[in-house]
Amino acid sequence: MFDPTYINPLLIAERDLRAHRFWKMHDIAIAWPIEPRGYTFLGHAVHRVGAALFSGWTGDEPVDFHLPILEGVSLQEASYNKRGFAKAILRQFDTAEVDDETLVYSEDEWDRAVKLFATHLVPQIKTAINRMSAVMRTMIEGAAQQNLHMVTRSKFGLPLASPPNEWATEWAYSRFSECQMNPAAPFANMQPPSLRGPQLPRGQIDLIPGNEWLFVETASLQAFLAEIASDRAASADKPERLPAIIKGDIKALLRDIIQKWREGGEALELQVGKSQFTELATNKIAGAKPRWATDIWLENRPDEWAKRGPRQQPPSRAAN
């Protein structure tokens, strides 16, 4: 039986190579999909959020994030593409003469390439991993909390909303590899075709079968970026009141309220609703944002405090 959550380890290197090639084509006009009016392609949005989060954002982070890893791999275990990558490292960094072969075939060459990889590329890869992880986490949480409005768009169709529940998951990280997802199976791992060297698309990265391109509603992205800028400015002015510290104070306030409710026999009149807590937190805690208080209440409130009656759900794809 097909398991949609299974990742074939033999294709991981191919997936990373496709993703590396995809992000490398950022400046090629025909490589990335056309943006419908009012929407920003997820790839462009990643760069804008990255620049908002990190003043030293270079634009190379998504490319470096998907570089093949040579450490811990022997020549015998290395894929076709990793041996080609090792040869490219030798040509760029090795002082010894390098032959005209396109792949590394000898143990000596492989060992030299691994050492050069550790010296010249690992530091920038670590930086890219830290920054891209922060960008992806920030955008996934934004989509899950309805602050970023995501849509999918096929080659020939109109944008279709990707609801917040499809982003409240760790499976969302893989969608950033090539900025696409399968709207019919949003939590499946779509494995790309296994491609080798010259068979990789040269001028354009195509959709994996079943997938559609991902976009962000531009208005929501602009508001999201403005909030990031506001948080950075507040952090610069008052470093002792970083957002993480403020959120910790909000959580502590909610814990105190819940404790009093439990000590009071879980009486109904001691329950604090979402709106009431949001107002209390923003009035009592310096720098607290209403959205932070609301999100923390939703994530941590006891089940008994849930609103009675059916909860409103986003429209399903079938309704569209």
Task: For 236-294, write each residue's pLDDT tens digit.
Answer: 544 445 676 788 889 989 998 998 898 888 888 899 999 999 999 988 888 888 989 99
- Asked, for residue 134, whether it belongs to a domain, the answer is yes
* pLDDT at residue 1, as a whole number: 33
- Residue 10 has what pLDDT? 41
- 176, 46 contact by CB (below 8 A): yes
Please state, rounded to an integer, the average pLDDT across all residues of the chain: 81
Same-domain check for residues 18 and 151: yes
Residue 7 pLDDT > 50, yes or no?
Answer: no
Of 286, 256, 290, the residue nearest 274 (C-alpha): 290
Q: Do residue 131 and residue 260 come from a single domain?
A: no
| 229 occurs within a structural domain | no
Residues 259 and 150 reside in one and the same domain? no
> pTM of the predicted model, to two decimals?
0.66
Number of domains in the chain: 3
* pLDDT tens profile 103-141: 888 899 999 999 999 998 999 999 999 999 999 999 999
Collapse the DSSP code of 124 into the 3-class scheme (helix H, G, I; strand E, B; otherwise coil) and give the result.
helix
**59 and 143 within one domain:** yes
The token pair at 232 is 């950075």
Q: Where in the sequence is the domain holding 291, given as residue range(s)?
A: 238-305
The fraction of the chain above a pLDDT of 90, given in percent, is: 38
My answer on whether 128 and 247 are in the same domain is no
On whether residue 254 sits in a domain, the answer given is: yes
Residues 281 and 194 reside in one and the same domain: no
Q: Looking at residue 320, what is its pLDDT?
A: 47
Q: Is residue 19 assigned to a domain?
A: yes
Residues 215 and 88 in one domain: no
CB atoms within 10 A of CB 121: 21
Within a domain: residue 71? no
> Which amino acid is located at 27 in the chain?
D
Amino acid identity, position 305: W
Q: Are residues 44 and 19 in the same domain?
A: yes
**Confidence at residue 213, expressed as pLDDT on a 0 to 100 scale:** 92
Q: What is the pLDDT of residue 14?
A: 57
Q: Is residue 243 part of a domain?
A: yes
d(CA 6, CA 235): 41
230: nearest Cα among 238, 140, 134, 220: 238
Both 42 and 148 in a single domain? yes
Give tens-digit pLDDT for 70-98: 888 888 888 887 888 889 899 889 887 77
Only one residue has tokens 């056309």, namely 34
The answer to whether position 313 is within a domain reads: no
Residue ending a domain, choose from 201, 224, 247: 224
Distance CA 224, CA 221 (A): 5
Residues 45 and 133 in one domain: yes
Long-range contacts of 2-10 (CB under 8 A, 24+ apart): 4/185, 4/187, 4/188, 4/189, 5/171, 5/187, 5/188, 5/189, 6/189, 7/189, 7/191, 8/191, 10/194
Judgement on whether residues 282 and 212 belong to the same structural domain of the protein: no
Looking at the fold, whether 192 and 245 belong to one and the same domain comes out as: no
**212 domain residue, yes or no:** yes
